[in-house]
Amino acid sequence: MISVTDNGNGIPQAVLDKIFQPFFTTKPSGQGTGLGLSMSYEIVTKAHNGELKVENTEGEGATFKIILPI
């Protein structure tokens, strides 16, 4: 398991439901593809049969966990 935690603003609940959808981004027009997390999700779950989970504390940051089978 690989866990990455940041100390950003966290992810608002309304946004959290959509972060793994292709082309979903809250970045300004022209700055984000919205593909980072959807591609990561596909690679981890489909190519490696793993799990990609997010744990979130609004206002305090987010943790992403990549869980790979042995």
Specify the residue, 36 or 48, whose C-beta has the smaller distance to Mg ion. Answer: 36
67-70: long-range pairs with CB below 8 Å, 24+: 67/1, 68/1, 68/2, 68/44
Please list every residue from 11 through 50 that binds ligand ATP, using CB under 6 A: 11, 15, 19, 24-27, 32-38
**Residue 36, interface with Mg ion (CB under 5 A)?**
yes
Residue 4 CA to residue 29 CA, distance in Å, equals 27
For binding to ligand ATP (CB under 6 A), which residues are involved? 6, 8, 11, 15, 19, 24-27, 32-38, 62
